[in-house]
A and B are shown apart, each in its own frame.
Chain A
Amino acid sequence: MQILWDFYELVGVSIFLILMIPITLPCLAGAVPGYFERRRRRQLEEALPEVLESISSSIGAGLGLQQALTELSRTRTDETGKLLSQAIERSRSTSFDAALAEYAINSRSVLIQRVVNLLSTAVEQDAPLGEITNSMSIEYDRLNKLINTRESEMSGQSLLLLMLMCLLLPGVMGFMFAVFGLAAVGAFWGHIHAVMVPYLMASAALSVVVSGRMLGRTKQSMWWIPFWSTLSAVLYIGLFEAIQVGMA
């Protein structure tokens, strides 16, 4: 119990911090599902070129689109296979077109929705599906490579930004203020904390937004603002207090 009171006293230096801490947990609950959803969507998108290539070869071997997709749903054990199995199962009670549309909607991916839309139009117009799926497979393979390039190049920068602004900056500031003015020798820092804590929280929030924008997912990154802001402020004030107590 005493630890909680001590923590409350520690964070009590700024009203912003007191308000932000209760928001952190619900926002984390919003951020984590977004992360998993994105991973699932990317898995589906990564599998898309391979799926299209398989459809193209199956059609080349004389199968129809429905047969090609049924074959795929049987052989694939990943998320794509699961969604395709659902779609095929559903097509028995509805139409194949409706099942394809459901697959596109359930994937929650714009890329897959585009492909399904294109396939539906091609089927409607009786176009050569083998050629279409083959050219789309090449195109989406290139696109995936580009998305992965952006992800790999930018994720390093984005992580660096978060580490520097949300951990290093408050750490250095807390250390510097604590070492240069020990309470044991009569220094009082209350007024500095009231300015520094909102500053560090604002810097952390800004870094989270910028790093999210770098990766092209600003909205999703906003859920992480309370977490990083709180972490940054608690690290600053915690380190400051720890040094003050340690050197007293």
Chain B
Amino acid sequence: MATNQEESADLLYAMRAVMVLLGSGIGLESALQMIGRGGYGAISRDFKEVIKNLQRGSQLEQELAKLSRDASTKAYSRFLNTLRTNVTSDTDLLRALQQQSEREEEERNDKLAGYIEKLSGLPTILLTFGMLSPIIFGIAAMIPVIAPGLMTSGIPGMASVAAAAGCFGPALFLTVVMMTLIGYRAHSSDPGVI
């Protein structure tokens, strides 16, 4: 099954392609066949499967309903439902797709703006972690080097400072793990619209 991002990435273009083809007098099945030839990622794969099943004798309406049930995104499911309604009730598909694509385009622009805004603070957050961690743990690690006399001075807590100095490596490793988790946001929040 296609992921949310995979479906979103090509949905608008597939929608527009269907619109262009229908608007120029090409039938729905031919339009689906054209999309199924490739170039629209997960949507092409789905439509190729639909055409294959149609050739085996399946009904277009059922195939579209099945795809709509399995769709990961609402927009894709809506698009498939619009196609299905046209097959069953002969609706004005072109107008419906026009409205849907406009809404989809608006959403795409909003999603991209949101993504840009979401990542605006990422470099500074990563730098804060990347710099603070070696400084904080580095101070503990540096004490035996800078002031070796302190370790044997008998001041309470010096033993734990010495132990912390030994944790410098693992602490930095954990920092890298943490930065990876923060940086993963750049991937997870990508709306996949471009």
Contact = CB atoms under 8 A, between A and B. Distances in A.
Interface in A137-195: 139, 142-143, 146-147, 149-150, 153-154, 157, 160-161, 164-165, 168-169, 172-173, 176-177, 180-181, 187-189, 192, 195
Interface residues of B, number: 51
A8 B186 CA distance: 37
A188 B141 CA distance: 12
Interface in B112-148: 112, 116, 119-120, 122-124, 126-127, 130-131, 134-135, 138, 141-142, 145-146
Nearest to A122: B24
A136 to B, nearest CB: 7
Contact of A127 (B25, B39, B123, B183): B25
A131 B20 CA distance: 9
A199 B34 CA distance: 51
In which size bucket is the chain A interface?
Answer: 35 or more
A223 to B, nearest CB: 18
Of the candidates A113, A122, A164, A203, the one having the most CB atoms from chain B within 10 angstroms of its own CB is A203
Contact of A117 (B25, B37, B130): B37
B25 A125 contact: yes
Interface string A217-235: 0100000000000000000
A199 B175 contact: yes
A181 B112 contact: no
Contacts of B127: 164-165, 168-169
B155 interface: no
A29 B122 CA distance: 29
Given A121-B26, A146-B194, A203 B109 contact: no
Given A113-B39, A127-B25, A203-B176, A157 B123 contact: yes
A192 B138 contact: yes
A117 B34 CA distance: 8
Given A165-B130, A195-B172, A214-B119, A114 B26 contact: no
Nearest to A185: B146
Contact of B24 (A131, A187, A196): A131
Interface in B1-46: 13, 16-17, 19-21, 23-26, 30, 34, 37-40
Of the candidates B124, B127, B186, B193, the one having the most CB atoms from chain A within 10 angstroms of its own CB is B186
A110 B41 CA distance: 10
B179 to A, nearest CB: 6
Contacts of A209: 183
A187 B190 contact: no
Q: Is the interface of B mostly helix, strand, loop or mixed?
A: helix
Given A127-B21, A131-B24, A214-B186, A154 B138 contact: no
A3 to B, nearest CB: 29
Q: Is the interface of A mostly helix, strand, loop or mixed?
A: helix
A216 B130 contact: no
B119 A154 contact: yes
B25 A154 contact: no
A40 interface: no
Contacts of B142: 177, 180-181, 192
B176 A110 contact: no
Contacts of A139: 16
B108 interface: yes
Interface string B40-68: 10000000000000000000000000000
A51 to B, nearest CB: 16
Interface of B: 13, 16-17, 19-21, 23-26, 30, 34, 37-40, 105, 108-109, 112, 116, 119-120, 122-124, 126-127, 130-131, 134-135, 138, 141-142, 145-146, 168-169, 172-173, 175-176, 179-180, 183, 186-187, 190, 193-194
Given A164-B130, A177-B142, A210-B126, 4 more contacts: A117-B39, A149-B112, A164-B124, A165-B130
